[in-house]
Amino acid sequence: MLRVDNLTFAYKQGGSNVLKDVSFAIDRNETVAILGNNGAGKSTLLKCINRICPPQNGEVKIDGSSVAQMTRNEMARSISYVAQNNVSLNMTVFDAILLGRKPYITWDATAADLEIVQGIIEQMGLVDFALRPVAELSGGERQKVMLARALAQEPKLLLLDEPTSNLDPRNQHEVLRMVRVIAREHHISVAIVIHDLNLAIRYCDRFLFLRDAQVYACGGREVMTPQNIEAVYQIHVHIMEHRGIPVVVPFPDEEGAVSHGAARRCALPL
Amino acid sequence: MTGEQQMTQLEAYATYVKRKQIVFAVAVIATIAVALYAVSAGSMRIPLPEVIQTLFGGGDPQTQTVIWNIRLTRVTAAILVGGALSVSGAVMQCVLQNPLASASTLGVSQGAAFGAALGIIVFGGGVVQSDSAAAAIAISNPYIVTLCAFACGSLSTLVIIVLSQFKRDLGPGGLILAGVALSSLFSGGTALLQYFADQTKIATVVFWTFGNLGAAGWRVLMILAVVFFIALLYFMLNRWNYNAMESGADTAKSLGVNTRMVMLAGMGIGTLAAAVAVSFVGIISFVGLVAPHIMRRFVGNDYRFLIPCSAAAGALLLILADTFGRLVIAPVILPIGAITSFLGAPMFLYLLFRGLEGSA
């Protein structure tokens, strides 16, 4: 579905690469966590995929079509994006979600556009807030509105930049559960930049580790090892299982790098 | 959720949209009502039925002269200038993501006034026909004055655009300070031009800085109307882009908006409309700042409605200010620029304090 080949990006011409020869693929219905420490290029990777930051080299394809060759509206119909810091909009929830129909609107929103927005509002449980200003909503509700707006674009690929960073634990789980349900129901692929490894391991199908501007590891549960985590985050972790749910427990005070032998502490059959 | 309930939800939204349409209709009706009052009021009071009769081709010759040659041109100028300044202010606030942006706060007005002074003094574009405050100055060559005003107003815009692009951390306050600096620069330039000009030309430039809606004849009004309606049409065509830009530049890009082009074109056309308006009627401050913010309270940041509502509100504000200036100590006409500044400065301070509270 999404195929990224040898993607390279630097913010300044001739400057150091934020991303270098990054290649990976995401299948339909798949949710992929993009992991790495601060400054690893995770958010930049999302912005390169949807041309917010046009890459210097490499190619991004969706269903075989090059994103670089698409018109802006074609791209917006294929890829939707929820930014890390969303501004508090002085418009109603309905109007904010209606913005997702912008790539389809020629002169004004049609009855079909309004019905699509209405359907998404119901699906995401926003009926009670539909005519309230976004600025008056809580962080969790606001994040749902942004997700709903992205969904209104009817995309093939959904890019989420730290969707849970400002949310309490209940809302973190609610939002990610919603993302997973939406992705499966609407056959959407999802790429999520996320810092919380426990949320990642619980809600994502595959994992992409970025280190030093390059892909360090990419794959399913088999790459979610203490060794990979230590190599990328420089922190010692144990991975255990609690009631059948994998849990990443950091031990920042433990000295020394994790040796390969440390993997024996991992309770998961990786 | 049943189909009936869904219909109710959509109906609720339709009612909400209708409320915004009613706000626009009320603003337009109020503008027309105040415009009719402005035409009827003055040293020669003309009853409203006679005003309407004259507008439809009736009335005696004296009334026809007063209405068609003096009052209607003045009111039409107020509508076009108020509308142009206001829609350009609304769009500049959006594309620069800055609630304090407008032609007057970004130095466009001062730049255009400098250009106009350049056109009058250096290129001989205008002369004073009478030294009476009641009489209008005349633009002997409106095109050279407009061209100079637009060029210098654009220069101001260009600096602001370059600053906002290359110094992204400048912030809203920084852009306004840049506007203050540019205003100061252009004011200094205007003063220097005046220093070397003869008395007649100085009088023309000084009269200009007062702002005078009576200066515009039908020929000038045609130019203003064409520029205003082109700007209004362009802004309305881009209303969905402006709505998307309210979500931030990255989100707007992901919605298919060419943010850079929308910003550059919005600033360019906003500057054209504001600079042309200012070049013909003098410095009229704060209308472009105040009118959009008043309408934001009624229709939010929905540019589908904010743009037309701002146009109506700007026109209404300027007719009110001009009529007040004509009537308060009649027959002396107070300068419109001073009245709008009295109106706008408290609003500017209110926005500043509200911004500070918001960031606390």
pLDDT for res B355: 54
pLDDT tens-digit series, residues A178-219: 888 888 888 899 999 998 999 999 999 999 999 988 889 888
Hey, CA dihedral for A270, A3, A120, A96, is it positive or negative?
Answer: positive
Whether the Cβ atoms of residue B254 and residue A52 lie closer than 8 Å to each other: yes
Task: Note the helical H segments in chain B.
Answer: 3-40, 48-55, 61-65, 72-95, 108-121, 142-166, 171-195, 199-210, 218-237, 239-245, 249-254, 259-281, 287-299, 303-327, 336-359
- Pairing mode, if any, of strands A206-211 and A31-35? parallel
How confident is the model over A56-71, as pLDDT tens digits?
889 999 998 999 899 9
In chain B, domain spans: 3-359
Parallel, antiparallel, or unpaired for β A65-66 and A79-82?
unpaired
Residue A226 has pLDDT above 60, yes or no: yes
pLDDT tens, A96-111?
A: 999 999 999 988 899 9
**Per-residue model confidence as pLDDT tens digits over A25-58:** 998 889 999 999 888 889 999 999 999 888 888 9
The ipTM estimated for the assembled molecules is: 0.87
B190-224 pLDDT, tens digit per residue, is 889 888 888 887 877 777 777 778 777 888 899 89
| pLDDT confidence bin for A79, thresholds 50/70/90 | very high
Segment among B13-27, B64-78, B300-314 with least mean pLDDT: B64-78
Flag whether pLDDT at A74 surpasses 90.
yes
In this complex, is the C-beta atom of A81 within 8 Å of any C-beta atom belonging to chain B?
yes
What DSSP string describes A107-141?
Answer: SS--HHHHHHHHHHHHHTT-GGGTTSBGGGS-HHH
Residue B13: which of A99, A102, A114 has the nearest Cβ? A114
pLDDT surpasses 50 at B105: yes
Looking at the complex, report in whole angstroms how far the Cα of residue A215 sits from the nearest Cα belonging to chain B. Answer: 24
Give the count of Cβ contacts less than 8 A between chain A and B. 95
Read off the tokens for A167.
């949310």
Give the chain B residue nearest A83 (alpha carbons): B251
Q: Is A80 on the interface with B (CB under 8 A)?
A: yes
C-alpha–C-alpha distance, residues A159 and A157, integer Å:
7
Do B296 and A90 count as a contact with CB atoms less than 8 A apart? Answer: yes
Tell me the per-residue pLDDT of B8-17, one tens digit each, with 9 for 90 and over: 778 888 999 9
* Residue A192: strand, helix, or coil: strand
So what's the pLDDT on residue B136? Answer: 46
In percent, the amount of chain A with pLDDT more than 90 equals: 34
Whether pLDDT at B143 is above 90: no
> How do strand A189-193 and strand A157-161 relate by DSSP bridges?
parallel
Residues of B in contact with A122 (CB under 8 A): 1, 6, 9
What's the average model confidence in pLDDT over B94-121? 82
Identity of the residue in B9, B248, B300 whose CB atom sits nearest the CB atom of A83: B248
Nearest CA in chain A to B253: A52
Please state, for a pLDDT cut of 70, what percent of chain B lies above it: 88
Residues linked to residue A159 through DSSP beta bridges, in sequence order: A81, A191
pLDDT score for B109:
81
Q: Domain A2-88+154-224 has what CATH class? A: alpha beta
B10 to A51: CB separation less than 8 angstroms, yes or no:
no
Question: Which superfamily, per CATH, for B3-359?
Answer: ABC transporter involved in vitamin B12 uptake, BtuC (1.10.3470.10)
Which of A102, A115, A133 has its CB closest to that of B255? Answer: A102
**pLDDT higher than 70, residue A268:** no
Smallest CA–CA distance, residue A106 to chain B, in Å, is 10
Q: Where are the domains of chain A?
A: 2-88+154-224, 226-270
Q: What is the pLDDT of residue B133?
A: 45
Angle B249-B250-B254 (CA atoms, 0-180°, nearest 5)? 115
